[in-house]
Amino acid sequence: MSKRRNSKNVLFISAIVLILSTLLLGCTNESKENSTSNKDSKDMLTMAWPRDIGEMNPHVYNPSQLFATSMIYEPLVSYQDGGKLKPHLAESWEISKDGKEYTFNLRQDVKFSDGTSFNAEIVKKNFDTILKNVDLHSWLGFITKVDQTEVIDQNTFKLTLKEPYYPTIQELAVVRPVRFLGDAGFPKDGDTSKGVTKPVGTGPWVLEEYKADEYAIFKRNENYWGELPKVKKIKVKIIPDAETRVLAFEKGDLDLIYGEGAISLDAFKQLETTGNYQTSISDPVATRQLVMNTKKEQLSDLRVRQALQYGFNKKAMVDGVTSGLEEKADFILPTNFPYTSDIDVKQIDYDVEKAKALLDDAGWKLPKGKTVREKDGKPLEIELMYDSAESIQKAMAETLQSEWAALGVKLNIVGVELTVQIERFKANDFELNFFSNYGAPYDPHTFVNVVGSEGFGFNEAISSYPNRDELLKQIADVPRTTDEKERQELYSTILESLQDQGAIVPISYIKKIAVYQKDVSNFTFPANRDEHPFTGISIEK
């Protein structure tokens, strides 16, 4: 009987093996078919993005992804390398002498993707819709200053401000909310803040197919007025996990991965060293900064702030933590932004002895047999807050902790969620914090504005600066200046003062990365941090 039982079992197991192998065989054939069909589409560039592209509403924020919005919708003015502002949907513009009236001459050969004309009427309609929700867009300085929108004629549009505000042109280059939706995209009640009927824009791409959380396919807008993109289609696969993105890229399912923090630094280095792919790194898009709250007693003394700067090897830390993908920063804003290249600040190099001397000088002495400095019996203890989900901030915080321990400074590092980090910063409830500026096309004016405004953290953090009131006045004056030379001088003074007084320490310049297959060519990073990089890109398969 046992023999018979054995043979039955053998039969049973063989049956399972047979079924499973048949299934596997089936998979092999079909998946091969799938992968060939993927690679067959010569004119389609496939890339991955961590989040769903969203609703493609040019007038609201979450969840629409900026790069995708910029594929469909266009601005009046576009931001180019070095902060140059070039005509886009507006062929030219005139600014009145008092800096309040902006007259735009619109490009005449532009049509929306549904064939309707782009003209001053639709520009006004978009502006008026945006202005209905001023609160929603008040972060963009010029929005709150708009007094009037007018159609002068079919191709001329005029914007009147309540007071002069020089960054207006620069702010018109942002990806949202001031881009133009075609008439057919407006909902019945005209209120786009609750949704759009369909994504109709003038841009080089049209959304062809979209499945939420899965993928989006953009096809080339054959009637585009400008330079026609080289590839016919862009497929954006939504892959939330960075490691999976790398694996999909290695398999050949993706042609391109790009962005800030799109994949881990290790993965980038590893892909680079294989030599099988092309990689590139952008110019600085922002500066990683360390903000010191001078309201806190220990940090109110300039000597302590300077000692902390002398006390760590910035270059070694940046190279070590970011594997050289970020670059040591000498200025609080990258110098490839407007008005930032002419800043003269005192460079603080790594000098432990000087740091110790400064601390001694400030009264923080190291008692015998102790490791932490004290003043009036109080130990020199500081807290650094970082975003616990951000590996770079965490590693930098740990490096600072050990570097400063050698000076006799006890650094307590506290990892918090991003929302908590922002809230505590705004409530001025921090001692040291990481921050990074907004990038192109927002800076330098947005960064300077944030420093000058109450309730963002900076204004309060610099409260012990002796020249604080003067600084705040200069910050308030900058956007109102109509004289270019005066504006440059103001920016230089403000940025020099902010940095020399040591409350805002530049650490490194943040850069974007891109990895692409060898058959992809002409990849360049857009000058505008939020724009798409697809127009010139081509692919040969």
Site for other proteins, rule CB under 8 A: 1, 5, 8-9, 12, 16, 24, 27-28, 30-32, 34-35, 51, 54-55, 60-63, 135-136, 138-139, 194-195, 211-215, 237-241, 243-244, 247-248, 250-251, 253, 418-420, 422-423
Give the residue with the Cβ less far from other proteins, 8 or 480. Answer: 8
Q: Are 77 and 143 within 8 A, CB to CB?
A: no
DSSP code at position 227: P
Q: What is the closest distance, in whole angstroms, from the C-beta atom of residue 396 to other proteins in the complex?
A: 22
Residue-wise DSSP of 443-487: TTHHHHHHHHSTTSSHHHHTTT-TTHHHHHHHHHHGGG---HHHH
Give the residue with the Cβ less far from other proteins, 265 or 422. Answer: 422
Q: What is the closest distance, in whole angstroms, from the C-beta atom of residue 392 to other proteins in the complex?
A: 17
> By three-state DSSP, how is residue 327 classified?
strand
Calpha distance 342→337 (Å, rounded): 11
Q: What is the closest distance, in whole angstroms, from the C-beta atom of residue 463 to other proteins in the complex?
A: 21
Q: What is the closest distance, in whole angstroms, from the C-beta atom of residue 379 to other proteins in the complex?
A: 28
Give the residue with the Cβ less far from other proteins, 17 or 152. Answer: 17
- For residue 234, what are the β-bridge partners? 45, 218
β 44-49/233-238 pair status: parallel
> By three-state DSSP, how is residue 192 classified?
helix
Residue type (1 letter), 278: Q
Give the residue with the Cβ less far from other proteins, 29 or 347. Answer: 29
Q: Are 502 and 290 within 8 A, CB to CB?
A: no
Calpha distance 501→302 (Å, rounded): 7
Give the residue with the Cβ less far from other proteins, 212 or 476. Answer: 212
Give the residue with the Cβ less far from other proteins, 237 or 365. Answer: 237
Give the residue with the Cβ less far from other proteins, 8 or 378. Answer: 8
Calpha distance 184→476 (Å, rounded): 41
Q: Helices 445-452 and 484-500 meet at what angle, rounded to 10?
A: 60
Q: What is the closest distance, in whole angstroms, from the C-beta atom of residue 449 to other proteins in the complex?
A: 11
Q: What is the closest distance, in whole angstroms, from the C-beta atom of residue 361 to other proteins in the complex?
A: 40
Q: Measuring CA to CA, which residue among 247, 242, 259 is closest to residue 513?
A: 259
Give the residue with the Cβ less far from other proteins, 314 or 529. Answer: 529
Calpha distance 309→503 (Å, rounded): 10
Q: What is the closest distance, in whole angstroms, from the C-beta atom of residue 531 to other proteins in the complex?
A: 18
Place of tokens 């990365």: 513
Q: What is the closest distance, in whole angstroms, from the C-beta atom of residue 255 to other proteins in the complex?
A: 14
> By three-state DSSP, how is residue 38 classified?
helix
